[in-house]
Amino acid sequence: MMFRKRTNGLLLIILCAALVLAFSGCEKLKISKLQANYHFSKANNLFTDNKFRPAIAEYEATLKNDPTKVEAYRFLGESYKQLYKPGDTSKDNKEKEEKALSALKKAYEIEPTNKDIIYSLGDMYDKLRDFKEAEKLYLKIIDLEPGNMSNYYVVAEFYKRYAGENKEVEKKAESMYLRRIEADPENPLGYAYLATYYQEGVTPSPEVYDKANEFWDRRIQLQPTASDAWLAKGVNRWSRAYRWQNLPADERLRSAQESLRALLKAKELDPEYPEPYMWLSVLYQSVLVKLEPDKEARYKAEADQAIEKSKELRKRAAEKKKLEEELKK
């Protein structure tokens, strides 16, 4: 009986001790989490203010208190990435590269399906010009969200940065822009993105500009009253007439006349839009005067009027913006 009482007493002491230790452990854990949140909040404020070096110290303090906080790893990597200078081979810059990759890889390891983390790590590889590793990550974003139109644009823009180096990558970029259109054929932005890619991301030629023009036309079909769509077409046709002066004169004149019709349409749709007037002046002076010298006086007068109108509209827009800002104050 005495033995049993002693045993029960001993068990009670052990249980009490365990409870005290558990409570103590919970308290330490709770305090650690609070400290982690404090440092994380401070780090985020510093990051937002572009103070990346002190932000790094705060993110590291966050992880010291809570090594599972995935966003701290991500933004620690982003902070190092902001300080990293592509092309700089110094030891200090190499350390920033390694620390950025290490933190972002850790975040990716914890949450391999987090789109933001995948993008952050892919962007770092992109800065390092590691095409294969960056491509894997960017394509994974599409696999995770095949219905998100912006993902196709992100990947297409990634390919676009390498398109000038590799014909195969040019095709990949084109394919990604086309996939975006196929996924949402009624969205005019898809056609604008692809047309812009042909004009900026591919080796220029009259044929490439004609292909771009087809997609400006398809955008106009969806947005017939969008003055900026007509402006884009007008600039495309002007470029074709101006850049390839070895083409037959009648072919260049057709492109110039297409440009003129498109720019006049843009002006008609939005008389307060200064860009069409500016490009009309450029078209008259750089192409039409030379292709139709018998109309030189008329075209020069039209050019002068158009540029003056453009300046007037820009000045008016600037004054309006200034007044709006003053009224807000």
- Could you read off the pLDDT of 133-153 as tens digits, one per residue? 999 999 999 999 888 888 888
Percent of the chain exceeding pLDDT 90 equals 74
Q: What type of residue sits at position 185?
A: P
pLDDT for 2 equals 41
What does the pLDDT average to over 266-286? Answer: 96
What's the CA gap between 191 and 212, in Å, rounded?
A: 9
pLDDT for 208 equals 95
What does the pLDDT average to over 211-226? Answer: 97
Q: Tell me, yes or no, whether 326 lies in a domain.
A: no
Task: Write down the mean pLDDT value for the chain.
Answer: 89
* pLDDT-derived band at 195, boundaries 50, 70, 90: very high
Q: Point out the domain boundary residue: 119, 144, 169.
A: 144
pLDDT for 8 equals 52
Q: Give me 54's structure tokens.
A: 């002190």
In degrees, rounded to 5, the angle at the alpha carbon of residue 316 between the alpha carbons of residues 315 and 320 is 115
pLDDT for 9 equals 53
pTM, rounded to two decimals = 0.75
Q: Would you list the DSSP string of 99-156?
A: HHHHHHHHHHHH-TT-HHHHHHHHHHHHHTT-HHHHHHHHHHHHHH-TT-HHHHHHHH
Instruction: Give the orientation angle of helix 274-283 with respect to helix 227-243, to 10 degrees.
Output: 20
pLDDT for 11 equals 52
Which CATH number do you get for residue 120? 1.25.40.10
Q: Are residues 130 and 175 in the same domain?
A: no
CA-wise closest residue to 276 among 254, 309, 251: 309
Q: Are residues 138 and 166 in the same domain?
A: no
Q: Which domain holds residue 62?
A: 35-144
Q: Are residues 135 and 92 in the same domain?
A: yes
Q: Point out the domain boundary residue: 144, 170, 196.
A: 144
Q: Tell me, yes or no, whether 7 lies in a domain.
A: no
Number of domains into which the chain is organized: 3
Residue 10 has pLDDT above 90, yes or no: no
pLDDT for 221 equals 97
What does the pLDDT average to over 160-171? Answer: 85
pLDDT for 20 equals 42
Q: Tell me, yes or no, whether 137 lies in a domain.
A: yes
Q: Tell me, yes or no, whether 327 lies in a domain.
A: no
Q: Are residues 189 and 284 in the same domain?
A: no
Q: Tell me, yes or no, whether 238 lies in a domain.
A: no
Flag the least confident range among 86-95, 99-108, 150-159: 150-159
**98 touches 79 (CB < 8 A):** no
Q: Point out the domain boundary residue: 116, 144, 172.
A: 144
Q: Are residues 104 and 70 in the same domain?
A: yes
Residue 18 has pLDDT above 80, yes or no: no
Stretch (H or E) spanning 192? helix 188-200
Question: What distance lies between CA 278 and its chain's CA centroid?
Answer: 28
Q: Give me 303's structure tokens.
A: 């050019």
CB atoms within 10 A of CB 48: 9
Region of residue 87 (phi > 0: left; psi between -120 and 50: alpha; otherwise: beta): left
Residue 164 has pLDDT above 70, yes or no: yes
Q: Are residues 205 and 169 in the same domain?
A: yes
- Could you read off the pLDDT of 228-271 as tens digits, one per residue? 999 999 999 999 999 999 999 999 999 999 999 999 999 999 99
**106 touches 73 (CB < 8 A):** yes
CA-wise closest residue to 215 among 242, 244, 178: 178
Q: Tell me, yes or no, whether 283 lies in a domain.
A: yes
Q: Are residues 115 and 183 in the same domain?
A: no
Q: Tell me, yes or no, whether 256 lies in a domain.
A: no
Q: Tell me, yes or no, whether 189 lies in a domain.
A: yes
